[in-house]
Amino acid sequence: MDKKNELLIRVYFVLFMFVCFAILILGRVVKITLVEGDKWRSKGGQNVKFMDKSIDRGDIYDANGNLLATSLPFFEIRMDLLKPRESLFNSNIDSLAICLAKLFPDGKSANQWKSELLTTRNDAIHRGKTKGVQYYFIANNVTINELEQLRNFPIFRKGRYGGGLIIERKSKRKKPFKGIAARTIGEDRSNADNVGIEGSFDKFLRGETEKQLMRKISSELWVPVINPAEFDSKKGDDVITTLDMHFQDIVHLELLRGLKNQDAKAGTAILMEVETGAIKAISNLEKLENGNYAELYNYGIGWSSEPGSTIKAASMLALLEKSCMSLNETVSVYGGKKKFYGEWMHDSERHGKDKMTVAESFKLSSNVGIATVVDECFRGPEGVKDFIHYFRQFGLHNKTEIEIQGEGNPYIKDPVENKKEFWKTTVPWMSTGYELHLTPLQILAFYNAVANDGKRMKPYLVDRIIRDETILHDFKPKVVQENIASIENIKKLQDLMKSVVLSGTGSRLKTDEFSFAGKTGTTRLEYNKELNKKKYNASFAGYFPAENPQYSLIVVVYEPQKQYYGSSVAGPIFKGIAEKCHSFFFKYNTDGIAQVEEEEFMLNKKHSGYAKDYNNLMAYMDVDYDKTTNNRWVDLLPTEEEVKMDKSKILKSKVPDVRGMGLRDAIYVLESLGLSVKTGGVGKVGKQSIRPGTEIKGQEIELFLN
């Protein structure tokens, strides 16, 4: 056999062996996947699988950049006791136990840590990995600062595979302003539906869910196969609200003071911007068993009830639109007591007057006077339909469609749809605020339209949604109705509401500092029932200043125990809020505080700090950079082409943007400007609790490091 044939035989033999080997592998693949697939998949799925991993929720801010809700990271720590080599474990167990005892002083002693670690490791060695015993629980709710210390402990410093350190990143929601506007901001709950802004904008705040490979170590416990990036910057979208915490603080404190003074069951107050419909503050407080007050339910948006005399503004506008009686015409009020179709109606105060003008009936809030005029003007089937038509014309039959869930349904009786419940007495009683149900926000939307010269705006709570530096959604003010009534009649009603404060039921509230207009309301609960103890709700709805309305406001106090008239219970709260908000608004605008530019508000990817430090760093690293300033504080802005060093904008009167700074530099800058600083975490500043550009007034600012 020549050499050529011998070589070919060898090649064919090798090729034959490769083909046989390939056929064997293919056969095993077919057998495992098709014949035994279910068996192996079931076994594999029992211990390892991909599970959803949620990223941090986005932040919620007020209109000035104050942080209302944010996600702070914490960690669950375990140790795979079979990972460290025996020599490493035995030589460092004492040191590790001492470090753990010092880091968690309220837990186990060093001897207890050592004993449990040794016992569990030995148990794991003998029982094997399949039992999951080797995954020893160290601690939960570990902060970033504590985690940094843990990572440098003996054994742990070897990492996951050398030291057995297992880190599972989680997060918890924090509200820097705690209970203020808590119900409106809402809750992010795993065991119940989310509420408030957290619930309604959940799909934006929670971001996109990622997949993470997890290993099962007990019947209900799974740990990540690969440690997640503990400082992953990915998170959900940010929500910028219309709330203003300057106003929110005023509304909250004034409402709380008023409820305590009257020992009331609950109360709500809503402040709205007249021109836009933006809600600037909303507070809902309910009395607890211990006598304190807290936000448990959103009464302003969710609680639909009989409004009482605040609805008389709508009744009066309907009369003006009907043009059946002038404001100067006289009405018989019979001392404040009259029978309508067999049912007695009473004025809330016994004034002793037999006659009033139509205008006086409104400003003195005479039930009998208003009901008499309405009954005369809207008598008969067609008249009744006209009265209901006007209420619908004013938008009182519609929800406001506020963004958050749970808005109560308005109930305006209809003579056709609600024929069985529509009696002869219905229109007189509806005109004074009974036999219909509205939420405080729905009433306020009507008053806001009156203040806005008849233009009805949609109330809204969210201004925009932001992802990184991009505005995803920008919510503009929305006109629901250009004119709820003629401008002539709107102006007449505005004058009537001024008279309520100047010489009517709200006259004790007037002040020389500024003017406001509105209507008092006193609602007797279960009006048609004789009760041993009568219960009332007190309210005041209106706007300020009266001549050039900027804000509309409603205050409702539920079941006050000491007094019950709207003028003496809700009125003082309204006045206190209006005075303080008006004072702040005037100062805010005349001081010329500039609006923060959008780009200053967005969290950017810059590094900030002391210029000399960065100059030394660039020189040490031999990096060329474009230096455009000799300022003491700079922003380092890396791009694909170059690194730029630019001036950091720090003004004496404004809160600076310290995001991107190291903690030392940030504290120095903020404290030198008169701010009190609180910090949490380690690393550089990732978030700050007060929006950059806010006027400095000696506030406390909290820095969140990552």
**The two three-digit tokens of residue 19, written as one number:** 């083909």
Q: How far is CA 281 from the centre of its chain?
A: 12
Q: Cα(180)–Cα(615) distance, rounded to whole angstroms?
A: 44
Other Cβ atoms less than 10 A from the Cβ of 105: the count is 8
Residue 191 — φ and ψ, nearest 5°? -105, 10
Residue 252 shares a structural domain with residue 232: no
Residue 438 lies in a domain: yes
Q: What's the mean pLDDT in 609-623?
A: 66
| pLDDT at site 593 | 36
β 343-346/337-340 pair status: antiparallel
Here the CATH number for the domain that contains residue 129 is 3.90.1310
**Is the pTM above the cut of 0.85?**
no
Residue 269 shares a structural domain with residue 209: no
Q: How far is CA 209 from the centre of its chain?
A: 21
| pLDDT at site 219 | 53
Residue 453 shares a structural domain with residue 523: yes
- Name which of 451, 444, 441, 440 is nearest 274 in CA terms: 451
**The two three-digit tokens of residue 398, written as one number:** 């519609």
In terms of C-beta density within 10 A (0-12 exposed, 13-18 middle, 19 or more buried), how is residue 470 classed? Answer: exposed
Q: Which of 209, 237, 265 is the last residue of a domain?
A: 237
Give 257-306 pLDDT, tens digit per residue: 999 999 999 999 999 999 999 999 999 999 999 999 999 999 999 999 99
Provide, rounded to the nearest whole percent, the portion of the chain with pLDDT above 90. 55
Residues 6+ apart with CB under 8 A from 431: 311, 312, 315, 370, 371, 374, 375, 387
Residues 6+ apart with CB under 8 A from 158: 84, 88, 165
Q: Which residue range forms the structural domain that includes residue 24?
A: 3-35
Least trusted range by pLDDT, from 181-190, 327-336, 406-415, 621-630: 621-630
Residue 684 lies in a domain: yes
| SS3 state at 434 | coil
Residue 211 shares a structural domain with residue 332: no
Q: How far is CA 22 from the centre of its chain?
A: 62
Q: Cα(271)–Cα(635) distance, rounded to whole angstroms?
A: 39
| pLDDT at site 617 | 64
Contact, 200 vs 185, CB < 8 A? no
Q: What's the mean pLDDT in 319-338?
A: 95
Residue 660 lies in a domain: yes
Residue 146 lies in a domain: yes
Provide, rounded to the nearest whole percent, the portion of the chain with pLDDT above 70. 83
Residue 597 lies in a domain: no
Q: Which of 524, 558, 590 is the last residue of a domain?
A: 590
Q: Which of 543, 564, 590 is the last residue of a domain?
A: 590
Least trusted range by pLDDT, from 57-61, 153-157, 292-296, 695-699: 695-699
Q: Cα(563)–Cα(531) distance, rounded to whole angstroms?
A: 17
Least trusted range by pLDDT, from 9-13, 276-280, 642-646, 676-680: 642-646
**The two three-digit tokens of residue 371, written as one number:** 């009901």
Residue 25 shares a structural domain with residue 55: no
**The two three-digit tokens of residue 233, written as one number:** 């910057």
Residue the block writes with tokens 């005075």: 579
Q: What's the mean pLDDT in 584-593?
A: 52
Residue 557 shares a structural domain with residue 698: no
Number of domains in the chain: 4
| SS3 state at 255 | helix
Residue 700 shares a structural domain with residue 672: yes
**The two three-digit tokens of residue 471, written as one number:** 């505005």
Residue 269 lies in a domain: yes
| SS3 state at 450 | helix
Q: Which residue has the higher pLDDT, 312 or 234?
A: 312
| SS3 state at 198 | helix
Residue 315 shares a structural domain with residue 435: yes
| pLDDT at site 531 | 53
Residue 389 shares a structural domain with residue 531: yes
Q: How far is CA 197 from the centre of its chain?
A: 5
Here the CATH number for the domain that contains residue 558 is 3.40.710.10
Contact, 243 vs 68, CB < 8 A? yes
| SS3 state at 243 | coil
Give 460-511 pLDDT, tens digit per residue: 999 999 988 789 999 999 999 999 999 999 999 999 999 999 999 999 999 8
Report the chain's terminal Cα–Cα distance, integer Å: 77
Residue 461 shares a structural domain with residue 558: yes
Distances (CA, A) of 35 to 29, 46, 569, 635, 682: 9, 19, 80, 63, 54
| pLDDT at site 447 | 98
Order of strands, sheet of 633-638, starting from the edge strand that comes earlier in the sequence: 607-610, 633-638, 643-647, 626-627
pLDDT at position 438 over 80 = yes
Contact, 358 vs 410, CB < 8 A? no
> Which residues pair with residue 137 across a beta bridge?
78
**The two three-digit tokens of residue 427, written as one number:** 């229109």
Contact, 702 vs 680, CB < 8 A? yes
Residue 541 shares a structural domain with residue 628: no
Give 98-114 pLDDT, tens digit per residue: 999 999 988 899 999 99
Q: What's the mean pLDDT in 185-195?
A: 78
Q: Cα(286)–Cα(289) distance, rounded to whole angstroms?
A: 10
Residue 434 shares a structural domain with residue 564: yes
Q: Cα(281)–Cα(584) distance, rounded to whole angstroms?
A: 14
Residue 217 lies in a domain: yes
Residue 45 lies in a domain: no
Residue 335 has what DSSP assignment? G
Other Cβ atoms less than 10 A from the Cβ of 23: the count is 10
Q: Cα(262)–Cα(264) distance, rounded to whole angstroms?
A: 5
**The two three-digit tokens of residue 404, written as one number:** 């958050």
Residue the block writes with tokens 């029932």: 529
